[in-house]
Amino acid sequence: MSELQELTHELVSIPSHSDETAAGDYIEAWLEAETSARVTRDSHGNVIARRGNGSNSLAFVGHHDVVSPDSSQKTDDGYLVQRRDGRLYGRGSADMKGALAALLCAFRDVELPGGELVFASFVDEETGGAGARGAIDDGFSPEYAVVGEGSTGYSAAGMTDVAVAHKGRRASTVTAMGSAAHASEPEAGENAIYRATDAVEEIRAMEPPETTVLGHELTGSVVVTEIEGGSAWNVVPDECTITVDERTVPSERAELHRLSSIPGVTVTTEQDLPPMACADSEFASLVLDAAKSAHSGNKKPASVVKPHATDAGWLAAAGTNCVVCGPAEPGEAHTASESVSLDVLDRCYEIYHTVASEYSRRKV
């Protein structure tokens, strides 16, 4: 088993779904033992390490929290990790401790003739990005970042592509208030469900947000996903709520504020995970060229977009030019059979190493 595979195995075996401390401890200790980098553990629990100097920094970014494991993925003292058929199985292998191991090894191994290389592993990515937001609030602001979330298998099976954009997610609660009355005299009240259905019709008529990023057309969505209201079959309801899931795109949003013009209707944002768009085509090309060189034969990875949010959204909102590149494939994360290809892990290490080398040489 290679060093990269062993490191992935160790990281995956450490529980980090409800408490990321042990995983953070391991990463911090590894960096201190394996590198001469300046390693810090901030107040949020993030592990951040820096090599080189300069204001123009490139960051390797990941996270060490995971979602709760399936019962089949647990052991008495940790997570079950298995290796078979060229893949490593276990909670967090795809999302995203495999990528984290590749980022760590590349961070250690690359020679830096110029510039600054940063490694950051955040906490709480799976629950809204509190770790990334905390680091940004504390001044974490690299010029560029490669975020190791999954980008493999988008243009073709097994291909490690480079995502130059991804959608965000805004979750909203629409509350319609009315006044109760006996159902035999409906005119004596104001039916909150009717007001809510007026809001639903308004949402159905909304155009989904659209934009273009480096030649890619992104189309978001806005959809009602839940509705709740009423207390009894013979009572005109005085309250009804609906939930709205919106997939946002950079710089564009559905006009949910229009719903407030309906009498008794208010809109509350429950979650707003920002989208990401890389604004620097040269940086995107640098990473794509590294991906192409890491593939054998005539395989040609592509520039792609991802359908869901990552911590790259928070970084992009703060001014960092990001791309997403990592070994996880669609459908692997958060599953009872979660796994990552060992060959693709090696490929991602090569990509990360090449990107850091090329970026550093440009900063001499």
Model confidence pLDDT, tens digit, residues 159-192: 999 999 999 999 999 999 999 999 999 999 999 9
Specify the length of the chain in residues. Answer: 364
Residues 196 and 267 in one domain: yes
pLDDT digits (tens, 9 = 90+) for 270-308: 999 999 999 999 999 999 999 999 998 888 999 999 999
> Same domain, yes or no, for 53 and 150?
yes
Q: What is the pLDDT of residue 132?
A: 98
Total of domains in the chain: 2
Per-residue pLDDT tens over the stretch 24-46: 999 999 999 999 999 999 999 99
Averaged pLDDT for residues 309-319? 97
Instruction: Mark which of 223, 249, 272 sits at the end of a domain.
Output: 272
Same domain, 11 and 103: yes
Residues 128 and 195 in one domain: no
pLDDT on residue 298: 84
**Mean pLDDT, residues 314-332 taken together:** 97
The residue among 243, 272, 301 that closes a domain is: 272
pLDDT value of position 1: 74
Report the relative pairing of strands 303-306 and 168-177 from DSSP bridges: unpaired
Where does residue 77 rank: exposed (0-12), middle (13-18), buried (19+ CB within 10 A)? exposed
Residue 20 and residue 150 in one domain: yes
C-beta of residue 214 within 8 angstroms of C-beta of residue 282: no
83/52 same-domain check: yes
Per-residue pLDDT, 192: 98
Q: Give the percent of the chain with pLDDT over 90.
A: 95
- Look at residue 119 and tell me whether its pLDDT is greater than 90: yes
Domain boundary among 214, 244, 272: 272
pLDDT band at 59 (very low <50, low <70, confident <90, very high): very high
Specify whether 94 is located in the same domain as 178.
no
CATH code, domain carrying 147: 3.40.630.10
- C-alpha–C-alpha distance, residues 240 and 68, integer Å: 32
Is residue 200 located within the same domain as residue 296?
no
What integer best gives the mean pLDDT of the chain?
96
Determine how many CB atoms are found less than 10 A away from the CB of residue 83.
Answer: 16
What whole-number distance in Å separates Cα of residue 185 and Cα of residue 36? 78
Residue 99 sits in the same domain as residue 229: no
Domain of 232: which CATH number? 3.30.70.360
Question: Which three-class secondary structure state does DSSP give residue 93?
Answer: helix
Whether residue 54 is predicted with pLDDT greater than 80 in this model: the reply is: no
How many percent of the chain have pLDDT more than 70? Answer: 99
Cβ–Cβ < 8 Å for 12, 338: no
Segment holding 166, helix H or strand E: strand 162-166
In eight-state DSSP terms, residue 295 is S
pLDDT, residue 361, reads: 87
Give the pLDDT of residue 364: 59
Give the pLDDT score at 335.
97
Contact of 310 with 149, CB cutoff 8 Å: yes
Q: Are strands 210-213 and 239-248 parallel, antiparallel or unpaired?
A: unpaired
Give the burial string for 180-210 (b: 16+ CB within 10 Å, else e).
bbeeeeeeebbbbbebbbbbbebbeebebbe
Range of the domain at 178: 168-272
Do residue 205 and residue 175 come from a single domain?
A: yes
Selection from 278, 279, 259 nearest residue 267 by Cα = 259
For range 47-54, the mean pLDDT:
93
pLDDT average, residue stretch 48-68: 93
Instruction: Flag whether pLDDT at 355 surpasses 80.
Output: yes
Query: Do 347 and 220 reside in the same domain of the chain?
Result: no
Are residue 94 and residue 157 in the same domain, yes or no?
yes
Give the pLDDT band of residue 242 (cuts 50, 70, 90): very high
- pLDDT, residue 198, reads 98
